Amino acid sequence: MALYLYGDKLNPAVATEKLGVNPTSSRYKGQVVVGRKTGREFAPAKIGVWVLDVDSKSLNLSDHIKILASKFGSGHIPFLEIEGVEEAEIDVFIAGDTDDECHGKVRFELNNEAIAALAHLSLPLRFTASFAKP
């Protein structure tokens, strides 16, 4: 699970200063990204991005949401008011296996505390799923 800020004119340093939280990763539009493990250079970034991953081993989605929300305190969070931010979202990545007939399912739930934390963050919640045969 991660929070993403996007924008053509996004300055990650400004976003970090306004939010008071260091990103897990970030880049300016046009910045050449270098792979951490490979050292390989990738094409210049098409858009600026600021990313905050939730670092948790929990399989409970509510735990991840509470951890993310705790990074920002209880006041107003100006995600879309930050200069250069055009879009902001929370993305939940779901990976799973399928059986031989390509059937697979994932179940998750949100408790009341996590729902309140999402309301406070006031951002779209998106789900990205990927399933593969084992």
**Per-residue pLDDT at 37:** 84
Is the pLDDT score of 8 beyond 80? Answer: yes
Q: Give the CA angle between residues 80, 119, 114 to the nearest 5°.
A: 130
In the block, residue with structure tokens 């996007």? 6
Residue 4 has a CB neighbour count (10 Å cut-off) of: 18
The model's pTM = 0.86
| Percent of the chain scoring above 90 in pLDDT | 62
Is the pLDDT score of 102 beyond 80? Answer: no
**Per-residue pLDDT at 95:** 77
Q: How far apart are CA 80 and CA 86, in angstroms?
A: 7
Is the pLDDT score of 98 beyond 90? Answer: no
Residue 126 has a CB neighbour count (10 Å cut-off) of: 11
State the chain's mean pLDDT as an integer. Answer: 90
Contact 19, 77 (CB under 8 A): yes
What number is the average pLDDT over the span 33-37? 80
